[in-house]
Structure 1
Amino acid sequence: MNLTGRLDSFSDAFAKNFITFALGLIINCINGFFVHIYFKSQVFQRDPRYVLYVHLVINDIIMLTACVMLHILTYSVPLGFGTCCVLLLIVIITNKNNPLNLAGMAIERYIAVCRPLHHTQICTVRRTYILIGLIWAISSINALTDVFFLLVKRPMLVFSKRVICHSTENFACPHVFQVVTLSFVFLTVIITYLKVFFAARAASTATKDSARKVHSTILLHGVQLLICMLSYVAPFFNLLAVRLPASRTKILFSSFLVTNVLPRLLSPLIYGVRDQRFSSHIKLYFSCKCCKAKKVKRVSPVHKRFK
């Protein structure tokens, strides 16, 4: 993911790798904690909404891990072309999964508010897993197309070479698929938001509050989508870096953090902190841990007397 691994001094390279590793570890620990909470309670596993949510979080964990590995490896050891392609494929596929998953979550919330009588029939856990499988299949199509064009254009001997591990250097396929996908997701989020917004205005007082929460959630999905689109703005930062050679490495590193690392923290903050059911389970989890710790402290002196 880094184009300038050999242009930095040892201290700069160490600082950048340390920051990347530390941020990646912290964000993955936070995301992993929310995944742990999800699997601790069967209530979440029976709700399609939370199934899609935890898939989004796991997808972010995979993507962030691959990004951090790429960033550190490009500084430390020269990468073979095959290893680089595998890591880039993981990053590209998981990056494309995000907007499609957000579209599925927006549609599920739309059905919950505008078609509440059909929600339990349409949005089942089994169909949610099928949707997740389709998301991975659709996202893989573009990545595998890149690999196909790569094998056609370049000889097999290229797999034995050491390369700069960056998608623009190794995959040169047009970004038509990305534009179509993001346009579809953007329209889906906008339409579902408007539908839920008007349903909230026409709803009774009893259901108006829940409808408002849902359309604000879909609005947050739109914000997440815009943040996902930051990865497609990264080439403009690269052009800016070329015109400012003195600050090139700093611009590229800042672009990497803003477009690939920091957005992975957004999903747990939106659902884990804002969602009442999830936040209540988090509080219950920590309260149970505190109670166990207090019991251990109370019991330990008693054991010491008998020794």
Structure 2
Amino acid sequence: MAGVAEPLAQYPVMNTADVDEARHVITEVYVPHELDSAGGRPLDARLNSVASERLTLGYLVYGAEASLDLPPLERCYHVNLTLRGRTEVTRRAGKDHVITEGGRSGAVLLPGEASTVRWAPEAAQFAMKFPRGPLEEHLGGLLGRSVHHPVAFDVSMDLSTGPGAALMAAVRLLQTEVDRPGGMALLARAQLETYVMTALLFGVPHQYSDALRTPRAEDRPTIMRRSIDYIEAHAHEAMSVPQLARHVGVSTRTLQVTFARNLGVSPSEYIRDTRLSRVHAELAAAHPGDTSVTARAAAWGFLHPGRFSEQYRHKYGELPSETLRR
């Protein structure tokens, strides 16, 4: 839309009309492939992209009818979430076929399988690359056992409802935080990227889906009870996830997986929500002449007023000043 910056605009990687240049850049950022435009027409191709060891997140458009032929990816999974327009994806020599639509569906390309993707001129996508190692290790942590085979994701997912919508929301959250002026701490970004991996594993069916949704005996209620008791008692103090893990007597990784499986949030998100609820309770009970939003927020560790107000409104549907006035 006019006047609205496109996603990841601070991280431009490519802006070209040349097919060969686009092929070269996309190969460097994602995977080797062949790229052709219909009738050899010029492109209006753009890519904005950020990358870490866990995933590459890009906003990609070709601006023309384009066709990509990809050999077996081998070392990664490729996930396209279509934001507008349409693409056509085939895998396994045409046995898997899907047409994705903007805001409604996406597609997954797998290690070990050749694929073809055809873009309509108006199509735009979040194009993501997930290296096999981190994603399969994360899946193993969720399952409580090692993963020895590639994850056979279905070719497509529904982004409009259920787990697929949760995946799109997770990616949008990561993109929004990356785009936030001033950036964010590497630890916060790592947690959001882990959240996206979890959303992908729950959002697209695969051969491990049933096992993911089956509670494990190893997820002992003791871990959750001790963690929640500690957070409730010490929410007013400086607290880190490693510190919480040491108190409970488990690794940081085990703590994160246990929270994800039982509550669907990370430990840091639970700590933040607990503190938000304390601020909310105090503002609801206070008189506007006797306190201030900034003072109550700071008392519970929220030192950035703008970010605090946004988080508060997301949780309670109103600004903290509105709660105080009521």
TM, length-normalised to structure 1: 0.23
Return the structure number with greater helix share.
1
Compare relative contact order (CA 8 Å, sep 6+) and give the higher one, 1 or 2: 1
Return the structure number with greater strand share.
2
